[in-house]
Amino acid sequence: MKNKLKVLIAEDTRIARDILIMNLENFAKDDLDNIEYFNIEKAESFEKAHRMIVNTKSTGDYYDIIFADIDFTEDNKGGERDSGYALIEKAFEICPLTKITTYSGQFRAAELWGKYEELKDKGLIVRTFDKSHNESGESNWMAEGLNKIIKEINGGYFIWDIWNNHELIIDEIKSQTFSGDPFTNLIIKNTIISNLESALLLFMNIDRLQGKEIIYRMMIYLYHNSLEILCRADKTDEQIIKESDENKTLAEQFIMGTKGKEVILNFPDSVNSQRIFISSINDERIKFVDTLNYYRNKSIHPAETFKLDISNVLFSVLAFTLAVTSNKNQIAFDYIKSFVNESKNLGAKNALEELLSFIDS
């Protein structure tokens, strides 16, 4: 659970801001028994809110929740009737993990409804707080909505580590060349970035999707496929076979350290994923990559004795990040580590803890 949530209130009328702050403080006191749970920042104009959101990109201190008004015509700084939508789109661009909510009574207006529905359908707006509830004197409407948002945030707070690691991976691959052919190089990078975007989208919506084990398989495949593409790059089959044969003995020693017993790798005569990985990674990281390969194989050919859960997926994203990044000290893992410590009955907990320990060493 996150100890404190950073909140932005983007609202051009003082009364509405004060009411929302009062609701947040009452909820923190009455429902969470922690009056300081929300770190609340305010913006009384579209211009100021836009600047504050953009600034989080450079600081890395992103908002957990944003309450955005739609109509900013009263800010006296050029705000328009639909400026809130531009604010929402910018906030999602800066950090897709921010829970963006509308705090407005005008979103149902004919000229605003279409855009509202579009952003909601795309997942940019996660909840709607209608100001008319205040005017009608309804009680608990804010607390009920806040409770659902906080439950979502704290139910999967490790996603912040995943997103930060995705950003780290993207920065790494953008600075590297994987093929002498510019077009092939571009395809490799774009495919990996697309895979990461798909994996993040699955993480963000996993509680809304049915068939979690199928989703876990898809995620593991995306990370495995991305690493395979990177390790293969533009190597020929002959190169991969030669290099994997040369690295075989060393890889067996590293993998033995994980398995706790002697390991003998039986390569096929042709190229497979294991050969591709071992041809490119000839240090201790290979034992974690080999486990990722094992998870992928078992998830494609599931057996009754192998049950996937979120721990396999978390291992996969960390193993991929470890294989790609040039400095493991940059890997984000604190939230994942907290989640593992707080969780029971994780199927791959031991392997995940070993990987976390290696990253932290």
**First and final C-alpha spacing in the chain:** 24
Please tell me the predicted confidence (pLDDT) of residue 1.
67
Taken in order 105, 155, 215, 160, the sign of the CA dihedral is: positive
Q: Among residues 99, 95, 79, which one has the least CA distance to residue 2?
A: 99
Please tell me the predicted confidence (pLDDT) of residue 307.
81
DSSP symbols for 11-58: -S-HHHHHHHHHHHHHHHHHTSS-TTSEEEEEESSHHHHHHHHHHHHH
| Per-residue model confidence as pLDDT tens digits over 113-166 | 888 889 988 889 988 887 665 554 555 778 888 888 998 888 888 999 999 999
Q: What is the mean pLDDT of residues 195-207?
A: 90
| Per-residue model confidence as pLDDT tens digits over 92-123 | 999 999 999 988 766 567 677 888 889 988 88
pLDDT for residue 190 is more than 60: yes
**CATH 3.40.50.2300: does it fit domain 5-155?**
yes
How far, in Å, CA of 132 to CA of 24, rounded?
A: 17
pLDDT for residue 261 is more than 80: no
Would you kindly state where each structural domain of the chain is located, as residue ranges?
A: 5-155, 159-360
Q: In what order do the strands lie in the sheet with 65-68?
A: 38-43, 5-10, 65-68, 99-104, 127-130
pLDDT for residue 354 is more than 90: yes
Q: Which tops the pLDDT comparison, 126 or 277?
A: 277
What is the pLDDT of the chain when averaged over all its residues? 89
Taken in order 272, 276, 278, 284, the sign of the CA dihedral is: negative
**Residue 281 buriedness (CB in 10 A; 0-12 / 13-18 / 19+):** buried
How far, in Å, CA of 129 to CA of 215, rounded?
A: 31
Please tell me the predicted confidence (pLDDT) of residue 34.
92
- The pTM score is 0.88
| Per-residue model confidence as pLDDT tens digits over 1-34 | 678 999 999 998 899 899 889 989 999 999 889 9
